[in-house]
Structure 1
């Protein structure tokens, strides 16, 4: 696994932890877990062949990584009950988009 891929996966855990600690410290563990649920959208990788391709940009390729899906995730931020999950989904998309930029810059 490349350094970029390891860093990408690490950021998917570290950034939600940092946000939970900064903004929801009294409920850190619960907030972090709800933010980490953003990884659920990677289930769409199971539809691809190969399932994991470190050189493939997820944005726009996988169904749960498309613009219509992002609109739904943004809608989840509005109700208080789903807010942290929605933020986790949007954060996941943002980190995947950053990874796509890193891929383009390194090729």
Structure 2
């Protein structure tokens, strides 16, 4: 139960803090953008079974591969466009959150 709480807290609440730190005046819009980055989980529908509670998403699903994560991280560092950079930051944080789940499943 604590694992699920932590996972969804990071996916929905913690990103509000990221949005606020990113831009205090537009944080609500940026929070919505960060929530939208969870659409990266669309790649889960390609898996069989679609949902498996103990499966680690990192390097299993197409948009969760180390190649994709590298692109997200480079985008967060190198891209100057504020919205695109925020999307990359959101994708990086999403992968961080999913990695915490992987660690929790393996060591928890």
Aligned to 1:61: 60
* Cα RMSD, aligned residues only: 1.5
Q: Which runs of 5+ in 1 are unaligned?
A: none
Query: Across the two proteins, how many residue pairs are aligned to each other?
Result: 105
Structure 1: distance between partners of 2:94 and 2:32: 13
CA distance in 1, matches of 2:22, 2:70: 24
**Runs of 5+ consecutive residues of structure 2 not aligned to the other structure:** none
SS in 1 for 2:26: helix
Q: Deviations over 1:31-78 (max 9, x none)?
A: 111222221110000001121111111001111111111122123321
- When the two structures are superposed, what TM-score results if normalisation uses the length of structure 2? 0.87
1:44 corresponds to 2:46: no
Equivalence map 1:1-107=2 (5 Å): 2-77=1-76, 78-80=79-81, 81-106=83-108
User: TM-score by structure 1 length?
Assistant: 0.87
